[in-house]
Amino acid sequence: MIPQPTAQQPLLDETFILQADATIGVDDPAAQPIAERFAARLRRSTGFALPMQDGAGTITLSTGGAESLGAEGYELRADTSGVTITAAGAEGLFRGVTTLRQLLPAKAEAGSAQDGPWEIAGTTITDTPRYGYRGVMLDVTRHFFTVDQVKKFIDLVSLYKINRLHLHLSDDQGWRIQVDSWPRLTEYGGSLQVGGGAGGSYTKEDYAELVRYAGERYITVVPEIDTPGHTNAALASYPELNKGDQAPELYTETEVGFSSLTIDKDVTYEFLDDVFREVAEQTPGDVLHLGGDEAHSTPHGEYLTFVSRATELVVKHGKRVMGWHEIADGELPAGTVVQYWGTEDPKAQGLAHKAVEQGATLVLSPANRAYLDMKYHEETPLGLQWAGLVSVEQSYSWNPATLIPNVPASAIDGVEAPLWTETLDDLDKVEFMTFPRLPGIAELGWSPESALDWTAYRDRLAEQGSRWEVLDVNFYRAPEIDWR
């Protein structure tokens, strides 16, 4: 299984076998949708009826215990008599169901009826996450991805107990979320993508659907409006956001660091006030990401002024600030989350310390470990390599607790694996760069430090290949893994 559970013990001489007369029992109406989706999946692959019933069933989801394990923790027992998942609430049951799916044979994920048997070796599991933030970022600006494509991505990452989806919604190449008060952002700024092809954007209904769909899988959407750099799409859409009121052309290449909002114009903050308000209104999560990275065209003094004013606007609209680690050079409001994308760079590490000194917490996304768009090796046909080549082993073999020396454990919220899409123009390519590396990042965020071992993990990862084949995932068959 991935992530490795906190504690697991075998039950010798016990085997659970799912039979045609099995039932699914639920004792809490809040868990009914989780049970229904799980049953629907099993009905397709087993051909069994799997009726739902109140209370205990052959497979039982119960909220009658495990309160000490927190909102995401759960207990699971599989033996000859059945399977029981117990949690304090629906979120914990959902995490337990993802474990149960991995305990079942890979063919249980199939979209049509398969032959049995459907066996699970007897086991008990007690499981709770190491970190509360376990994220993946999808860049939908360099190349745009439709609602249905993002939904499939959500389905795949949710299997590994990911609980944050960071959507990078604006950049130089495109603006992807509707803002009623500034309609040209999507009408014009979202019209293209890298390479000059047709872009796209999410209406408010589209974004609401993504938020809903992710929420059903206990994933919180973190929207990012990247500022003050990475803003050419906005600048091209509205001349008044530029110095001299001269709009640039739309941009469809991949260089960074050339664009900037105009820091000393009142209209800049009127614009951000509107954008942050409308995005915040659509986002149930408590965080709004304002970017802040690679603002090379913004003079440093102006950048610090911008951070102060922009973060005030995020807080004004009821959200906590999240931003890339560069924002730590400015004054940060209480509750800020700083996303560290540095490597072993002393300057970046210094900014992380500066963030913590201000009371901010950190989400760790080291580019030479966690960036899913880095090439696996020199011959990888997709991706970039400015942060180095990132093999499956390298993406797994680091410890969030010691990545940045002398950062207290209490300052680390968790981990995130960003996927930038300069070279990725369809979902097959996204899957190829995401799998098999994302499950390792997910394990770093969930499993206890004592469980992290590359040799053991490599063997468990090998078992996932057959599951991905059934799920039609275009994963990279890394040669260092003995795929089953």
- Contact of 163 with 441, CB cutoff 8 Å: no
- Contact of 436 with 476, CB cutoff 8 Å: yes
- Contact of 39 with 24, CB cutoff 8 Å: yes
Distance CA 30, CA 67 (A): 16
- Contact of 88 with 66, CB cutoff 8 Å: yes
Sign of the torsion formed by the C-alpha atoms of 257, 254, 290 and 411? negative
By three-state DSSP, how is residue 157 classified? Answer: helix
270, 294, 312, 463: which is the annotated catalytic residue?
294
For strand 119-127 and strand 7-17, is the pairing parallel, antiparallel, or unpaired? Answer: antiparallel
Helices 437-446, 454-470: axis angle to 10 degrees equals 120
Edge-to-edge strands, sheet with 82-86:
7-17, 119-127, 74-79, 82-86, 59-62, 24-26, 52-54
- Contact of 341 with 351, CB cutoff 8 Å: no
Tokens of 23: 């039932």
Q: What angle do CA 433, 437, 438 make, to 5 degrees?
A: 95
DSSP one-letter code for 67: G
Alpha helices in 106-263 (DSSP H): 147-158, 184-187, 204-216, 232-237
DSSP one-letter code for 254: -
By three-state DSSP, how is residue 360 classified? Answer: coil
Task: Tell me the one-letter amino acid at 232.
Answer: N
- Contact of 135 with 363, CB cutoff 8 Å: yes
Residue 294 known to be catalytic: yes
- Active site positions, annotated: 294
